[in-house]
Structure 1
Amino acid sequence: MIVKSKGIVLSYMKYGDTSIIVRIFTEEGGYGSYIVNSIRSQKSKKSIGHFQPFTILDLVLYVKETRDLQRISEFKSHYPLHNIHQDLIKSSITLFLTEVVSKLLQSEQSPNPELYVFAEESIKAFDEIVKGVGNFHLQFLLKMGPFLGYAIDDIDNLFSSTDKLVPTNENHEIMDSLMKEPYGYEVKMTRESRSTMLDTILEYYQHHAHISKPKSLEVLRSILN
């Protein structure tokens, strides 16, 4: 069956001598793994750069329901990103978020069009923002929760769902701003507060979605610090 869909690249790994296996969140099919044949061949007319994390693609997929690994037959850029892959901080945040999102979506392998729209619009905003870049991952994970069925719509609910202590009044206000304000809004906080917020959000998802600690977490911390 041929399926046309937009998709957000999360990661890829080499497969065989010239191919790759890509993990993509598609609008029509949800999270899945797809093989791209001969993309690493010297004769390939397409660039493997299409499969950088958070790249948004127009896809033609060859789907066979009896297979776990589907095939991408055609692809092209849907929306060119100008800054995410060139900026060190943005690229580090992107690698961290794609790892977390992959973990969260492994049990969400059915279409979730509302989540897809949220993710795509968030990526576009991230590519454009100049201010508040260092807080984007916090906002993204907070805003993503309701689309996965997790009611992170109240700060007290978020903190009481973990083993963390009740936040200080200052951190309470920071979290409230992160949840409510648009991307690019500058929420000023200390390095320690940002680290505490991230630990709390990750603990929430570890508690509810049973995801493991992201391997890229320490790399992100070192870049942001």
Structure 2
Amino acid sequence: MADILHKVRGVVLKTSKYGETSLIVTVYTDKLGLQSYLVNGVRSGGKKSGNKAVFFQPAALLDMVVYHNELRTLNRIREFKFAVIYQQLFSNVLKNGVALFMIELLHKTLRQPEANDDLFGFLEDGLLALDEAGATVTANFPVFFAVHLCSILGFSPGVPPAKMMDAPHLLLDLQSGEFRDTPPDHYHYADTEAALLIIELLQTRQPVELQRLQISSLKRNRVLDLMEIYYSLHLPEFGKLRTLPVLRAIMS
């Protein structure tokens, strides 16, 4: 099968050094889904290559022309450039920490290479919104992203019926992914306070709406811990998020 050229937009998820001057880059693309590329000569630092490795920072949004062969696990990039030059996302420590959390969470959920327009749009829009966000929106962004990502992936608990919302002891069973008004026979569940906050986040449709949510760092950390458990219960081999302790530290 011959290589076919495609114009794609992609978000860099992971970069690994290869040899003396090259990189292996994992990218989530709009048209080809999850892909890995070998990029030669970008780490040489010579006059010809410059500092091209900067293009492949995690969370970078690129326009690319790529060679694609379905029989290969590693393809090549013919052309690349920034699709967007972020104003703050790479330079602001907090925003970069949030972006790296988003990227790791997405990367750990992707199991198939197929494209998903809704998922790519959610990620792209999220990164652009985070770059422009104020302090409150930025602080609330990790819980917003974690709650809505599982909706797009198809295992969200969803918003419960209105009559259940008034239950005095509303809980979220993390194992079944269902809201309920009595404790399950296991300990993987969110208490009423956390369950109501997750519902509020599910009802928040756009990042700009996060401005109105006054959530303490303690509550945000609690929901992030619960969402990590939720993902690990619903996705085999999900494991632990390495960026989560770092995010807690910089947001404290």
* TM-score when normalising by structure 2: 0.82
Contact 2:174 / 2:189 at 8 angstroms: preserved in 1?
A: no
Tell me the equivalent position of 1:7: 10
Taking the aligned partners of 1:87 and 1:205, their CA distance within structure 2 comes to 28
Taking the aligned partners of 1:164 and 1:88, their CA distance within structure 2 comes to 33
Contact 1:83 / 1:128 at 8 angstroms: preserved in 2?
A: yes
Name the SS for the 2:158 alignment partner: coil
Tell me the equivalent position of 1:164: 188
Contact 2:66 / 2:78 at 8 angstroms: preserved in 1?
A: yes
**Larger deviation: 76-85 or 173-182?**
173-182
Taking the aligned partners of 2:70 and 2:56, their CA distance within structure 1 comes to 24
Tell me the equivalent position of 2:243: 216
RMSD: 2.0
Contact 1:10 / 1:53 at 8 angstroms: preserved in 2?
A: yes
Contact 1:134 / 1:224 at 8 angstroms: preserved in 2?
A: yes
Contact 1:35 / 1:71 at 8 angstroms: preserved in 2?
A: yes
User: Which of 39, 44, 66 does residue 61 from structure 1 map onto?
Assistant: 66
Give the partner amino acid of 2:120.
Answer: Y
Alignment of 1:37-52 (within 5 A): 37-41=40-44, 42=46, 43-45=48-50, 47-52=52-57
Give the partner amino acid of 1:176.
Answer: I
Give the partner amino acid of 2:198.
Answer: M
Write out the 4+ residue segments of structure 1 that deviate beyond 6 Å after TM superposition: 155-158
**Larger deviation: 154-163 or 185-194?**
154-163
Q: CA deviation at 1:73?
A: 1.3
Corresponding pairs, count: 223
Give the partner amino acid of 1:2.
Answer: L
Contact 1:159 / 1:200 at 8 angstroms: preserved in 2?
A: no
User: Which of 178, 197, 208 does residue 174 from structure 1 map onto?
Assistant: 197
Tell me the equivalent position of 2:132: 128
Contact 2:95 / 2:138 at 8 angstroms: preserved in 1?
A: yes
- Unaligned 5+ residue runs, structure 1? none
Task: State percent identity of aligned pairs.
Answer: 31
Q: Deviations over 1:23-46 (max 9, x none)?
A: 110011111211111111223056
Taking the aligned partners of 1:132 and 1:3, their CA distance within structure 2 comes to 35
Taking the aligned partners of 2:51 and 2:94, their CA distance within structure 1 comes to 27
Give the partner amino acid of 1:3.
Answer: H
Instruction: Mark the CA change 1:111 to 1:154 in structure 2 (over 3 Å): closer, same or farther.
Output: same
